[in-house]
A and B are shown apart, each in its own frame.
Chain A
Amino acid sequence: MEKVEDQNPQQEEDQVVNPWEVSAKDGGKIDYDKLIDKFGCQRLDQSFVDRVQRLTSRPPHVFLRRGVFFAHRDFNDILDAYERGQKFYLYTGRGPSSEALHLGHLIPFMFTKYLQDAFKVPLVIQLTDDEKCMWKNLSVEESQRLARENAKDIIACGFDISKTFIFSDFDYVGGAFYKNMVKVAKCVTYNKVVGIFGFTGEDHIGKLSFPPVQAVPSFPSSFPHLFSGKDDLRCLIPCAIDQDPYFRMTRDVAPRIGYHKPALIESLFFPALQGETGKMSASDPNSAIYVTDSAKDIKYKVNKHAFTGGQETIEKHRQYGANLEVDIPIKYLNFFLEDDAELEHIKKEYGAGRMLTGEVKKRLIEVLTEIVERHRRARAAVTDEMVDAFMAVRPLPNMFD
C-alpha cells in the first residue's frame, strides 16, 4: 500500500523535500534511499533500463544509464501495457519563476524528449504561471510573460510540434480541465492537503487550491481536443523527485474518480557548482551554468567555482587520488558525458590520482559548451509564432506515429 499521508515536515524529519523547498540534513547530502523509503516509491534498477532498451530498439538515454532518473511509480505497468500495444502519453511541466534557465532546469525536458522519440508518444507540458504568480508574488502579466519565455527554451530542447501541446494555466484552465480539477478537489480534505504540503493558517486560499491544477493533466479527459474517447490512456510523468507529493495525492484520488493512476519516473537533484551542499540560486549566477552563458562564462565558472574532490597539491593528489564522492566535475560529467567508456576511464584515472583536476575540468567545459551552444542555436530558431503554434488548442492527428 502506498504512503499518502506525510507528517508535518517540521517533525523529526531532518531533510526537507517538497515542491517549494529542498534541503539536506545539517547541510549535508540528500539521502535518496531515505527519500524513496519515506515517499514510498520504487528504485529504478538495471532490469528496467534493459527492458526499455529492448522495447525501444535504441540505446537507453544517458540519464537512465547513469541513474539520474532513479525512482518510479508503476513504470512497469506502463511498459507492460506498451508491450501489449497500448500507448501512453507524457506529462511534464515547469514553474516559470525566472527568465534565466540553467542546465538543471533542462534535465527533465531532455529526458522527456528522449522518451517522446523512443516510445513515439504525445506530450503535454504545463507551465504553472498561476503557481508562480501566487508563490513568488509576481503580477499576472509577468508570470504569463515568463511562461512564454520559458516555453521558448523548452521548445529548444527539440520537442516534435506534431506531438506536443504546451499550455499555461492562465490560458487553459476551464472547461473539461476545470471539471477534473473540481472532481479531484472534492476528494482531498483540507487536513490532507495541509498534511501533504505543509500549508499553515497563514497561507492564502490560492495556495491551498492549487494542487488540483497540477494533478489533472495526468487524466486524458482534461484534454478533450487531444484524447477524446481515449479515457483509458495511461500517463507517465517524468519529474524531479521533489514533485512527488503532488502525484502521491493524484494517485490516491485517481481510482476514486474512475481514472488510471499516473505513473512517475523521478530524477535526482542537480547539484550546484559549489557542491552538493551548496544551493543553486537564481541570484548567484556562479552557482549554475545558464543556457545563456558564453563559452567564456562556462570556462570561468567551471575553473573558478566548481567544487572539486582533488587534493590540495599535485603530490598529494598523485598519492591519494581524487574524492569522487564530492567532486562536482565528475558529477556533472555523469549527467552529460555520453560515452560510458570515457567516463569510466576518467573516473578511474582521476580517482587513482593519475589524472589531474584541470584535465577533468577541461573535458567538462568542452561537454557543457557543446550542450549550451546547441541549445542556443535551437533557441534562436524559436519564434513567437512557433510558441503560438505549440500552445494552440489544436488536434494532433499524428501524435502516436
Chain B
Amino acid sequence: MGYSKDQLLARLKELQIDFSQYEHPVVLTVEAQAKYVGNVGGALSKNLFLKDKKHRYYVVSALADTKVDMKVLSQRLGLGKGGLRMAPEEALGEILKVPLGCVTPFALVNESASHVSLLLDKGFKTQERCIFHPLSNDMSISLNAFGLDKFLKSIGRDPTYIDLEANPPVGKDQPPDLASLVPLGSTVLPDLPEKTPSQDSSGNHPSAGNNSTAVTAKADKPSSAVQNVKEKSVNGVRPSIPSTDAGKFVEELLDRTSTLLLSEISEDSIKRHGGQLGAEVANNIRKCLREDLKNLATIVKNTAYTEGFYAGTHYQPKRL
C-alpha cells in the first residue's frame, strides 16, 4: 500500500519542513478546495496526472491560475501535438496511490511513482506558500517552495521548475525544450483498459490483482528524436592529447611516427629502394604526418594558452 497522509506529515516534520495543515471535508476540485483554504494565505495549486502514448506518466503541478496548454506542453516535451492525455483513473491509484482529485507532488514518495516525471510551475517560487493535498483530499497543507524542494530532494528527486505558460517554437532547428523531462522508462500497467470509467471513486482501483510492484519499467532508449546531439560527441571519445603534459604529447608524436615508419619498411620496400629507402621513408613521413602533427601541436598550444588565460584572470594581485 502507498504512503499514508500521516506518514507523509510525520516525514515532513522529520525533515523540519515548515508547513501548516488544514482539515476539511473531502474535496475533488480546486474550486471546492478554495472554499475551505482559499483564504489561508497560500496559493492554490492545480495538479494534473498525464500520460503519453508510450505509457510514460507526468505530474504537472501549477498555480491554480497558470494556464496549462496540453498541446504546447506535449510539443515542448517532444511528444508531438497530441501526445499528452489525462491519465486513466486506474493509473492514479496504481501509480500515485492517491484517490481521484488528489494528484499532488507528494505522491512521488511512492516507489510505484519512481518513473513519473514531475513538472513544477516556476510560479510556485514567487509565492510565500503553496497549497497541496498531502495524499488525501480531506486535508490541505501549505508550505513554501523551498520546503517542497527539500522534500523532493529527500526522496531523490531533482525539482525542476519551468515556465508552464511559455510557448517556444519547436521545429527542425529548435529542439523541444523540455525533452529532458521525459521519463527514461515507460510504465507498463498490466490489464488496464485504455478508457477511463467516468465515475468518482475514493481511490479503489480495479483489481488488476497486483500490488505496487506491478509497475515494470522497461529500460527504453530515449527517443532519438530528442537525443541531445552533444551527448553523441562526448560519448566514449578520449582526446588523443590529454591536457598539456609534455611527456604524453611527445609519446603521441613518436607513436605516430614509428607506426608510419614501421609500415613503410617492408621486404618489398627494401627491395625497391635499397639504400635510398631512408630518404624515401623520411620524405613520406613528412608528407603524411605534417598536417596531423601540426594539428596536435595546435591543440596543445591552445590548451596551454587557455590554462594561462584562466590563471591570469583568476590571479590575486599582490597585496601592497
On A, residues with C-beta under 8 Å from B are: 97-100, 117, 136-139, 142, 149, 155, 158-162, 281-283, 290-292, 294, 374, 376-381, 383, 385-386, 388-389, 392, 394
Contact = CB atoms under 8 A, between A and B. Distances in A.
A137 B169 contact: yes
A283 B172 contact: yes
Given A160-B298, A161-B301, A383 B306 contact: yes
Given A283-B172, A385-B306, A392-B309, A292 B301 contact: no
Given A281-B172, A292-B229, 20 more contacts: A99-B175, A99-B228, A99-B230, A138-B173, A138-B174, A142-B168, A155-B302, A160-B298, A161-B301, A161-B302, A161-B306, A282-B172, A291-B233, A374-B295, A378-B299, A380-B233, A385-B306, A386-B303, A389-B310, A392-B309
Contacts of B241: 381
A392 B295 CA distance: 22
B238 interface: yes
A159 B310 CA distance: 19
A33 B141 CA distance: 75
A149 B168 CA distance: 20
Interface in B157-188: 168-169, 172-175, 177
Contacts of A290: 229
Interface string B214-244: 0000000000000011101110011111000
A142 B177 CA distance: 10
Given A139-B168, A158-B298, A162-B301, A149 B173 contact: no
Q: Which of B169, B239, B307 is the most central at the interface, judged by chain A CB atoms within 10 Å of its CB?
A: B239
A78 B152 CA distance: 64
26 contacts: A98-B173, A99-B175, A99-B228, A99-B229, A99-B230, A139-B168, A155-B302, A158-B294, A158-B299, A160-B301, A160-B302, A161-B301, A282-B172, A282-B173, A291-B233, A376-B237, A377-B239, A377-B240, A379-B233, A380-B234, A383-B306, A388-B306, A389-B305, A389-B310, A392-B313, A394-B309
A98 to B, nearest CB: 5
Interface residues of B, number: 32
Q: Which of A281, A292, A381, A394 is the most central at the interface, judged by chain B CB atoms within 10 Å of its CB?
A: A381
Contacts of A392: 309, 313
B109 to A, nearest CB: 33
Contacts of B238: 380
A100 to B, nearest CB: 5
Contacts of A139: 168
Nearest to A376: B237
Nearest to B309: A389
A380 B313 CA distance: 24
Contacts of A389: 305-306, 309-310
Nearest to B233: A292
Q: Which of A283, A379, A389 is the most central at the interface, judged by chain B CB atoms within 10 Å of its CB?
A: A389
B229 A100 contact: yes
Contacts of B240: 377
A247 B21 CA distance: 68
